[in-house]
Amino acid sequence: MSDQITKALLEHNRPVPRYTSYPTAPHFTEKVDAEVAAMWLTETDPDKPLSLYFHIPFCKQLCWYCGCNTKATLKYEPVSQYLEYLKKEVSLVAQTMAGERHVNHIHFGGGSPSYIRADDFTDFMSHVHGLFKVSPEAEIAIEIDPRELTEDKIKAYKNAGVTRASLGVQDFHEDVQAAINRVQPLHHVYDGVKMLRKHGIAQINMDLLYGLPHQTGESVSRNIDIAAGLAPQRISLFGYAHVPWMKKHMRLIAVDFLPTSEERIAQFEIAQTTLRKKGYVQVGLDHFVRPDDPMAIALEQQSLKRNFQGYSTDTAPSLIGFGSSSISALHQGYYQNTTSVRDYSAALDSKKLPVIKGVALTEDDRIRRALIEHLMCYMRIDLGEFCTQHGINPERFAPALQQLAPLKKAGLVEIDDLLISTMPGAAQAVRLVCAAFDTYLEPQKGKHSQVA
């Protein structure tokens, strides 16, 4: 990365969304409630497949870097009780939709889905299979804390059809792990990968973070070396977002040891370069995959998608989220469940969907959602071609092009007529480009993470 690009990123560094949806979650309102969500569910096309997301909001120990909706508990009883309510929600949604509904993608996120005991996972998946027609070719993915893996759990995953395991690694160095309250010796990751492959779950992802306390360019590069040595199909490289005003536990992280914005940019560049040298293909902003991976193929064929789990090959037009805080994405709009497990349970006891807020999409929202998703996936867009495809006048985006002028002047973006591209080495700038097309966005400290 050139000094000019680094300087420009620092000058234009500001909080903007990660754009896993549009409009983004801060713009959801209570106008979308359980009744609206139920109506939307009944209107989904029964001939089109669904994608299901299950949120497990529990961990044995809270990691201080975590931005997820989760809580720590050493007692398993709250987890087992929650799973009973999760089954109630699955039943209620299936009843609301009616008819046989086909599923081609399932994702377990958290929290720590791997906290679930083997027999409980088997029981829950049997419940899902009893209410939805899950395709034999469906991708079923689960996020895993390597410290919790056992052979019994992996056998349960395999028997339930799990095809992909995503291991939360973050960093391999003891000083960094101690600073974020996630001490995780390498052997946990190594043994976990070995056991998963032994039982036929060969699609393995690893999540790594940069921008953590005590990290350096050298240590981030070493993380890549170790991770790549275990040969995962995908490596996700996320920048740690320090937002203690939103997540109070982040106050436990010593800010004096956090890298500067300039150091974060350098860490990303080092990791990016190292991953490419090891044969990984960069997909979008933060995913790196093997050349034969379905995500690399989707990138080449321009069928890549972006949702709340990040980049995806999932083409289902409707994503239904289950569990506290989960978000559903339908043609009509988005709706989110309550983040309170207590309120979540109470709603289901009353046989009501536990929906707390959402947003109905306008036609302009759908157009901008498609545009922003394309930018996030491919780092460029032919605005003229896009407008022709959607039957709209490019003048609609004149204000956005004006907002992009400073980024073009800074050398972060190239604009050739209506062809917009982030410059080589300036991948992080894509979120700034997307923000120019975001009609909801207002500069508000604390709502989003910094670009750099």
446: pLDDT strictly greater than 50: no
Q: What's the pLDDT tens digit per position in 367-392?
A: 999 999 999 999 999 999 999 999 99
> The dihedral of CA 284, 285, 291, 295: what is its sign?
negative
Query: Where do the structural domains in the chain lie, given as residue ranges?
Result: 1-20+362-452, 24-329
The angle subtended at Cα 196 by Cα 60 and Cα 276, nearest 5°, is 95
Supply the CATH classification number for the domain 1-20+362-452.
Answer: 1.10.10.920
**Which of 409, 380, 325 has the alpha carbon at shortest distance from 82?**
325
Separation CA 48–CA 103 (nearest Å): 9
Residue 323 identity: G
Q: What's the pLDDT tens digit per position in 137-155?
A: 999 999 999 999 999 999 9
Mean pLDDT, to the nearest integer, of 301-321? 95
Neighbouring C-beta atoms of residue 414, cutoff 10 Å:
15
Mean pLDDT, to the nearest integer, of 276-290? 97
* pLDDT, position 15: 84
Average pLDDT in the chain: 95
* pLDDT, position 449: 63
* pLDDT, position 397: 97
**Which of 90, 93, 164 has the alpha carbon at shortest distance from 125?**
90
1 band by pLDDT with thresholds 50, 70 and 90? low
The angle subtended at Cα 422 by Cα 384 and Cα 19, nearest 5°, is 85
* DSSP per residue, 326-364: -EEE-SSEEEEE-S-HHHHHHHHHTT---EEEEEEPPHH
* pLDDT, position 293: 97
* pLDDT, position 277: 97
Higher pLDDT, 451 or 391: 391
By the 8 A CB rule, do 361 and 332 touch? yes
Architecture of the domain whose range is 24-329: Alpha-Beta Horseshoe (3.80)
The residues, ordered by sequence, that sit 6+ positions from 177 with a Cβ below 8 Å of its Cβ are 170, 171, 183, 184
444: pLDDT strictly greater than 60: no
Q: What's the pLDDT tens digit per position in 74-129?
A: 999 999 999 999 999 999 999 999 889 999 999 999 999 999 999 999 999 999 99
448: pLDDT strictly greater than 80: no
Mean pLDDT, to the nearest integer, of 346-357? 98
